[in-house]
Structure 1
Amino acid sequence: MINQKTIMEAVELLIKAANPVRIILFGSYARGDNKESSDLDFLVVEKEIKARRMETVRLRDVLSPLRIPVDVVVVSEKSYNEWKDAPGTIIYEAAVEGKVVYGAT
């Protein structure tokens, strides 16, 4: 399992690399039902994104030295605000069940 210290190290790396508006931990670690094989799921909200796929890959690479299973979803602040109330989307899932680990709620 991934301990709280490692989760916060991941958050710090994401903050330094992305200058995000908000970072939300969601999925099993946010719900508290994580297992040994569970990964970390982060939704990283940035002010603007020019190339979302490239940014996602870049942020995953930033976390690679931690050697933990992690999934990073990157969205713009505009997209977050548009989709946070739309059931069935990953943004909704993160907004409803996630824990804000950086930035405003």
Structure 2
Amino acid sequence: MAQGRVVFINGRYNERTLLEWLPGVVARIVQRFSPLQVILFGSLAKGQETPHSDIDLLVVLPHVENKRQTAIEIGVAIADFPVPVDIIVTDPKEIASRGNEPGSVLKAALTEGRLVYEHAERHQPV
């Protein structure tokens, strides 16, 4: 198999499931961006993975100036993983002001997601 080529067969990417790729993706984000939390949400968090699923992650950083640019930077940092990943970036200030907006992706991630990483100094979810 050529390097960098993604082969999807029977729910597996290069012979691994999305969940099997998740720890590596999260570790890279933690190493490069030092988030407060990383929350897995969407179909994978609910155990409803399909052939069209991706890894949906809410990355909570201490402070974010430009969410879009930061999400792009995270995407570049994990681009060598052969799995589709959607990144949403937020910070505690946005969670406090918009975390309960009905129908928002942020609220869905916070209420239905699974905490997959939390900084050692944090003792409870944001």
| 1:13 corresponds to | 28
Stretches of structure 2 lacking an aligned partner (at least 5 in a row)? 1-10, 12-16, 119-123
**Structure 1 ranges of 4+ moved more than 6 A:** none
- Tell me, in whole angstroms, the C-alpha distance in 1 between the residues paired with 2:18 and 2:55: 11
Query: Is the CA contact 2:18–2:54 (under 8 Å) kept in the aligned structure 1?
Result: no
Which of 63, 72, 88 aligns to 1:57? It is 72
Helix, strand or coil at the partner of 1:65? coil
Match of 1:78 in 2: 93
1 or 2, which has the higher helix percentage? 1
Measure the CA separation in 2 of the matches of 1:100 and 1:17: 19
* TM-score in terms of structure 2 length: 0.78
**What residue in structure 1 maps to residue 4 of structure 2?**
none
- Structure 1, gaps ≥5 residues long: none
Q: RMSD value over aligned CA atoms?
A: 1.2
Q: Quick check: 1:91 aligned with 2:106?
A: yes
**Greater CA radius of gyration, 1 or 2?**
2
- Count of matched residue pairs: 105
On the 8 A contact 2:38/2:60 being kept in 1, the answer is: yes
The answer to whether the 8 A contact 2:71-2:88 is kept is yes
Q: Give me the whole-angstrom Cα distance separating, in 2, the residues matched to 1:16 and 1:86.
A: 31
